[in-house]
């Protein structure tokens, strides 16, 4: 990508986000959605849907460390993971238009893509099964150890693991379950060695630390298009996309 084009896009992005710092957004109370057509495994109730192979998981996001100078109301608020056997799609969404990060893992069609919607720009990185998705450089080299502790999250029996960061000084704890039958659900993430679906975990993206906690698990059919390659995105390098993702999280 020509250097002048990259500079222009960064300049536009920086100008736009500078204006956002002075914006305060108020939200109307959310209206609860009727879920009669969905099989809902509530995190406050027992779970009848263990061993499900297709569905969606919704996670709340908490900012443990947030270097951003704008309101947290404008940062990503929700993570959604859709799965069907070994097909995985994740969506990290912000309240600003359609901005966010999408990953698609479809081994059958050799798709290991990361997509970024940011303002009016649309980019993607075409990876392979060995790659870790852009944005996670700060977590390269983590080690994971089971603690033996158990708990229940959203009705699923979960195991705890200790995560040691590469600096050898920082330790965090995560929870995962093997009662959701997604296959290799952590491809392209720092947790790819964990054979289970993450239910409470963290990501470090640049200088920001985000905590994700499962809030709802839905047993439902996921459309094929969720696992297909997206159109009208500009192909870029992993390094370039990594820089943009960090800017989106911590501008």
- Output the pLDDT for position 9: 55
By C-alpha distance, which of 141, 25, 2 is closest to 72?
25
Spatial separation of the C-alpha atoms in residues 215 and 200, rounded to whole Å: 10
- Output the pLDDT for position 31: 33
- Output the pLDDT for position 251: 64
What is the residue-level pLDDT of the chain in tens, covering all 251 positions?
A: 544 544 455 454 444 444 444 443 333 333 333 333 333 445 555 466 788 999 999 999 999 987 777 777 778 889 999 999 999 999 998 877 778 999 999 999 999 999 999 878 999 999 998 899 999 988 999 999 999 999 999 999 999 999 999 887 889 999 999 999 999 999 999 999 999 999 999 999 888 899 999 999 999 999 999 999 999 999 999 999 999 988 877 66
- Output the pLDDT for position 55: 97
Domain range summary for the chain, segments of one domain joined by +? 3-22+38-250
With residues binned 3-state (H G I as helix, E B as strand, rest as coil), the percentages for the chain, rounded to 5, are 20, 40, 40
Spatial separation of the C-alpha atoms in residues 6 and 241, rounded to whole Å: 11
CATH number of 3-22+38-250: 2.50.20.10
For residues 155 and 46, is the Cβ–Cβ distance under 8 A? yes
- For the four alpha carbons of 90, 230, 208 and 166, in that order, the dihedral sign comes to positive
- For the four alpha carbons of 121, 112, 185 and 45, in that order, the dihedral sign comes to positive
The DSSP result for 96-136, as a single string, is STT-EEEEEEEGGGTEEEEEEEETTEEEEEE--TTPPPTT-
Spatial separation of the C-alpha atoms in residues 155 and 217, rounded to whole Å: 9
Say if residue 113 is exposed, middle or buried (CB neighbours under 10 Å; 0-12, 13-18, 19+). buried
Spatial separation of the C-alpha atoms in residues 215 and 44, rounded to whole Å: 9
Spatial separation of the C-alpha atoms in residues 180 and 211, rounded to whole Å: 21
**Which long-range contacts (C-beta less than 8 Å, at least 24 apart) are formed by 101-104?**
101/76, 101/135, 101/245, 101/248, 102/230, 103/133, 103/188, 104/226, 104/227, 104/228, 104/229, 104/230
């Amino acid at each position: 990508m020509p250097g002048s084009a990259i500079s222009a896009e960064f300049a536009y992005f920086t100008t736009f986000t500078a204006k956002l710092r002075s914006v305060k957004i108020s939200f109307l109370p959310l209206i609860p959605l009727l879920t009669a057509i969905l099989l809902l495994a509530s995190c406050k109730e027992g779970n009848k849907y263990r061993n499900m192979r297709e569905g969606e998981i919704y996670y709340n996001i908490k900012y443990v460390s947030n270097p951003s100078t704008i309101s947290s109301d404008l940062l990503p608020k929700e993570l959604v993971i859709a799965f069907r056997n070994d097909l995985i799609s994740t969506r990290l969404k912000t309240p600003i238009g359609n901005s966010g990060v999408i990953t698609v893992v479809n081994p059958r069609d050799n798709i290991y893509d990361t997509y970024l919607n940011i303002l009016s720009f649309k980019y993607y990185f075409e990876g392979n099964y060995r790659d870790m998705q852009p944005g996670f450089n700060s977590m390269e080299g983590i080690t994971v150890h089971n603690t033996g502790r158990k708990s229940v999250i959203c009705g699923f029996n979960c195991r705890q693991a200790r995560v040691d960061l590469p600096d050898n000084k920082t330790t965090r704890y995560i929870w995962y379950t093997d009662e959701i039958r997604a296959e290799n659900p952590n491809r392209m993430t720092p947790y790819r060695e964990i054979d289970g679906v993450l239910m409470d975990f963290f990501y470090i993206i640049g200088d920001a630390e985000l905590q994700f906690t499962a809030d709802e698990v839905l047993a439902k059919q996921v459309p094929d298009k969720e696992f297909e390659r997206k159109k009208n995105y500009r192909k870029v390098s992993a390094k370039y996309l990594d820089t943009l993702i960090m800017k989106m999280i911590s501008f």
